[in-house]
Structure 1
């Protein structure tokens, strides 16, 4: 259980103007009282969901069976059942976070629902589904998640221009992040030019962290296996576990440049908020690395850290207590790490392209599995 004493590291994050969101969602979590306790005791400020999270929640528990049975009796098909279940969960979470949203004047208190990952490369249908979910949730603290693919970015811009709050997901490269941030600014300008308010528009750019190290370290291992040179081996070993943090720091450096200067200041004067960077995939995949590594090293203002439950509990228990941002520490060193990786033979563009494709594929697989579980239960209850 969460306690005020155990939440000191989390409080220190918030003192650095970094928000803490939970990367988790299930009916038992929302309705059993645990989410309310985390909001009350730890000051939890938001939550995110994705197809993998819902696949585990719906496909591997009986918590939803009564609702599925009822929906089947009403003649609902698989898609309608899925939509009803997830919208119901997200609405309940949004209502719990509404006081956070109100107290923070709309800075926090958000819960995200993702459009179908099967639409990741379909601009028009992504936009249609985003607007549909926005209308169904009907809460000012809702966020709709859209992948930052080439086709997703124009859909993101149009959705923002239409007044939706958007969580841009599956960002791995600095270049992709910059494209998303500029799309956000374009959307705000479109609204301002049309005489529409921009003060209430909220967006985060979800930049994935740990998967970068997993992929780069695997490629470094392949290079290590191919060389017998002792000095090269030592150099390659020294680069392991450094790509993700360096990559994130460069994204934050770009954030500082994009959200400054006359163009941005003109929008800020009309009430616009920056599109915060959200650190996603912060759970450590390699047991050799500290379990709070991707939180400890990425602390800074105007950011969000969204943590899965195990990482959240680890950080609450023994997270690094800082009095100054770590995100801006040794930026030259971050540039140097990525340069050294390129020189060592790691094609970072190929890495981030692969991670995006793989991320879309994994979420699509989870979504297919989720619909399959709903289909199976529907058949069971219909029979």
Structure 2
């Protein structure tokens, strides 16, 4: 078994003043950490763990074998890497603070709002406008359900569902991402004005997807899912076998990143998503959510899609999807505290409000009330 290294930020703080300048700013955002767990693992089991700060991490890494030390240096640099804004047509989305991505499902059977907007164009347009006005930086449009057991979707139907929605959202001035696994749908949506490709199969469903995404030069969201990307999107939930779910998802996303870059996608165009709820048990999801800051070590902007997920229901007496607002907001705050740049949510108004309050608290924390007087 090959040893691997992982650097997990601990002791998160609302400002660098909390640790008298010793805190590290994660990914150029508004989350800070002072202590870091430097872990060496083999076969999913931690064989060595040391705590480090910015002042001591060089010494900790120097005590490791050369290959691990080199990878550790890369991850340490990645944790502190500030990411440039997303230039999405006429809109610029900054990544130095959390941004909200609103979900628009034009499907008959999605987990949360399937069927609500499929055959009611006015309702879909009204919902999109409400999300845009509420402060969604991006509207994510999908025409294929990815829940377990969802029926297969013909490409022609997916096109008919999503293209009009993209055109409408673009016309009202929104930045749009297209949630699809199919290169023909990607191409049609981008031609209609979409600016981001969001592929839950991480460009694995169709061998042409990687080539198209590279040629488009658009940002691409790559999500972790354990299963193969077969004809039915629900297959992505299958074959979940983890030695250590946190390390396994980290390694999988690192490989997806490297595969995308080797295929011609510019590294700054790669956004990663740990895939909460996809082929993961409640325990798996909770482990990932508790380890969210670790994924900054991959060196890419990060997306959290935990809104209305089944884990929330499992922790709240099996509340149905439309009654999971409180849990969704709690997990959105977990993502904000961890420095995640994009929050994919169904309840945009409430999440934007929570983000704005969170942002106000962070801004206020830059003036430390407990600082010693001169």
- TM-score class, shorter: 0.3 to 0.5
Give the TM-score normalised by the residue count of structure 2: 0.38
Higher relative contact order (CA 8 A, sep 6+): 1
More strand by share: 2
More helix by share: 1
